[in-house]
Amino acid sequence: MTRFFARVVVALAVLAAFPAMAQPVDTGHLIAELVARDATVTPGATTYVAVRQKIDKGWHTYWRNSGDSGEATKVVWTLPVGWTAGDIVWPAPQRQPTGPLMNYGYHDEVLLPVPITVPASARPGETVTLKAAAAFLVCEEICVPEDAVLSLTLPVADGLAKPDPKWGAAIARSLAEAPAPAGLDAAFAKQGANLTLAITGAALKDADLSDAYFFPFGSTVIDHAKPQAIERGPDGLTLTLTPGYAFQEGAGPQAMAGVLSLGGKAYEIAAKAGALPAGASGLGAPAKASGDGAALGLPLAAAFAFLGGLILNLMPCVFPILAMKAASLAGHAHDRRAAQAQGIAFLAGVLTTFLVLAGVLIAVRAGGAAVGWGFQLQSPPVVAGLALLMLAVALNLSGVFEVGTSLQGAGSGLASRQGLAGAFFTGALAVVVAAPCTAPFMAPALGWALTQSAPAALTIFLALGLGFAAPFALAAFMPGLLSRLPKPGPWMEGFKKLMAFPMYGTAAWLAWVLAVQAGDTALARIFAAAVVLALAVWLLGVAQRRSAQGGKPLVLAGVGAMLAITATLAAVWPNYAAAPTATADAASGASASVPYEAYNPEKLAAARATGKPVFVNFTAAWCVTCQVNEKIAFSTQGVADAFKETGAVYLKADWTRKDAEIAAELAKHGRAGVPLYLVYGAKGGDGVILPQILTEGLVVRALKDAQDR
């Protein structure tokens, strides 16, 4: 009798729970809710709870690899203590062609089941509430990010769980049809311009392979938009794919996993690079993996990086910092040990900062973000912080306040710890300021590096840093050169103050970049912070001078320090909005005589279909080389006339702020940063990459040549 009443109580709890089990949320373009496979859950068992999406007609959401654009659905769970959630069991996706792009996802309705493990400590008779924060990207012709906080109440009961009467069968069917391994053997090989994927196994022998399609888990291994040619063999099939930018440089990945869809069925496969299995195609003989690799290997890429680092010293963005180093070197010229110590400290600062930037860049890219060289200057808070830093350096050089030893008194203490710290800091600052520039030879080396393993990539950045630091580091060890420099004297104090003006110019340039990125409000904000910072360092300077005279400047120093901290926090606080009409060249006052359109992949495809030459300019406001080219090569009447005569379409890809599509296109052409100039011929074919330093004649000639290509 007691057991009977217990069952009655559980049954009543189940009935009471049904109205509260799912709480649908209308996010705007879909209705989301949590639904359960089982009506009750059992302690120590695993159940499945699905995120159900009822998607508006004509709209879609995305699979775990969204394809050329989009973003996968994300779910973050809040569960009772001891309860755990596994990974989403993704149903096989559908192809979603959008213009020239190919995306992968779902429309109408989809269930995303998730395994939920119930702890053994769960008590029968109690009810638990599961919560999930879900984020969706819902797209039609436009994409709208939407989110919902979903909840589900489930009763805990003894015995075997019974299926939920409404959703149990649907979730069970979704789990049964989800892609799973089926003992298939798969291998791939890059053969010339193609990527061959061969799959064999018993599951394929009698299957209909006419609509076979490979959905990769990785977003960079294939060109999703290109067709997949199918060839049937006695034991399986071979798909001819177009490799993605993961194969553009180097040997490419050694493993490739994904889903093989055969219409009504789908299987998980894990392919390895190597010899293709016999029987996958009708050719009879197994194909061999191609060993062509990329044009660059590690030795050549390192040599390119070193040369690029040397040339980087000639870029306009680096001049202010190198002028500071030249002044410092002149002060040390007649103290050989001090000069050598300064050279080593400068080298250490350069290499350390290059490796730190490279490590962050590699880690961010490994996390899935589309970033490249100069990524830090795509962030308005970082640009604002650098602008204030350059202003502080300029005020220091102007004598408003002192940091470390002065140049005039450097004769005796040049090798002191303060002097070495200053040289290290100068090297670090030079790298930070050089980041917006991409010198010749650098672009292919960095593009290669960012497709390789972390050790290979760090080797390339180390070579780049060695090339960048080499002129000043070696000069410190050349007595003949040092002996030709003037001896330290009063002239150095004047030279030091003169060097402040390039730093003021750098601060002004960074303020302009910030305005391009985040609008006029950001400019007002950085100006206000600059005024407060200037007052702060002036107070610190007054405190330093009073201290030198035996006074007690603690109050002034404290006020100055507080004002400096306040100004910095106000500038770098990350709440900058994007400028409404921010374009790298419009803000620079570039000539409007050459009309252009903002780049996106759809516009590029449409422009190439017109039968006209197409010129694509990948640029950014913080890229000094880009801005110099704008003035020298794009703002002339000769170039404007060439665009009119050839009828060329002009597209500009502005990378001033982060843009995943632009980052992907740069990577596709083996580049990690801007500038990049592509010219597509009127008759089609691949784009021709122009040099990074342009002239009017070079652009005119490229446009005319494109008429006949």
Q: Report residue 564 as tokens.
A: 């400096």
CB 659 within 8 A of CB 359: no
Q: Report residue 526 as tokens.
A: 């950085």
Tell which wins on pLDDT, 92 or 279: 92
CB 623 within 8 A of CB 660: no
**Is the domain 2-178 a CATH 2.60.40.1250 member?**
yes
Span 517-546, average pLDDT:
83
The pLDDT value recorded for residue 178 is: 93
Residues 549-567 have pLDDT tens digits of 776 666 777 777 787 788 7
Bridge-based pairing state of the strands 649-654 and 614-619: parallel
Burial class (CB in 10 A: 0-12, 13-18, 19+), 75: middle
**Which DSSP letter does residue 211 get?**
T
The pLDDT value recorded for residue 170 is: 94
CA gap 324, 165 in Å, rounded: 76
Q: How many CA atoms lie within 13 A of 668 on its CB side?
A: 19
**Could you tell me where the DSSP H helices lie in 255-335?**
298-312, 319-332
Strands annotated E in 156-222: 180-181, 185-191, 194-200, 213-216
**Do 2-178 and 181-273 agree at the fold level?**
yes
Q: Which residues of 258-267 are buried (b: 16+ CB within 10 A; e: fewer)?
A: bbbbbeeebb
For 331, list phi and psi in degrees, rounded to 5: -70, -25
Residues 97-125 have pLDDT tens digits of 887 889 999 999 999 999 999 999 999 99
For 617, list phi and psi in degrees, rounded to 5: -110, 110
Residue 180 β-bridge partners: 267
Q: Which of 678, 555, 554, 558 is CA-nearest to residue 615?
A: 678
Q: What residues does each domain of the chain span? A: 2-178, 181-273, 298-572, 597-706
Residues 295-340 have pLDDT tens digits of 457 788 888 889 888 887 776 666 666 666 666 666 555 567 777 8
CA gap 318, 309 in Å, rounded: 11
Helix (H) or strand (E) holding 357: helix 336-366
CB 532 within 8 A of CB 427: no
CA gap 227, 240 in Å, rounded: 8
Q: Report residue 457 as tokens.
A: 């990539």
For 446, list phi and psi in degrees, rounded to 5: -70, -40
Q: Report residue 480 as tokens.
A: 């003949």
Q: Which of 123, 117, 113, 102 is CA-nearest to residue 224?
A: 102
Q: How many CA atoms lie within 13 A of 592 on its CB side?
A: 4
The proportion of the chain whose per-residue pLDDT surpasses 90, expressed as a percent, equals 26
What pTM, to 2 d.p., does this model score?
A: 0.43
**Is the domain 597-706 a CATH 3.30.420.40 member?**
no
Please list, in sequence order, all residues whose beta carbon lies within 8 angstroms of the beta carbon of residue 384, skipping any fewer than 6 positions away. Answer: 510, 514, 522, 525, 526, 529, 571, 572, 576
The pLDDT value recorded for residue 154 is: 93
CA gap 97, 103 in Å, rounded: 6
Provide the CATH number for the domain formed by 181-273 in this structure. Answer: 2.60.40
- Other CB atoms within 10 A of residue 22 CB: 21
Tell which wins on pLDDT, 292 or 595: 595
CA gap 350, 462 in Å, rounded: 9
Residues 661-688 have pLDDT tens digits of 787 788 777 777 788 899 999 887 778 8
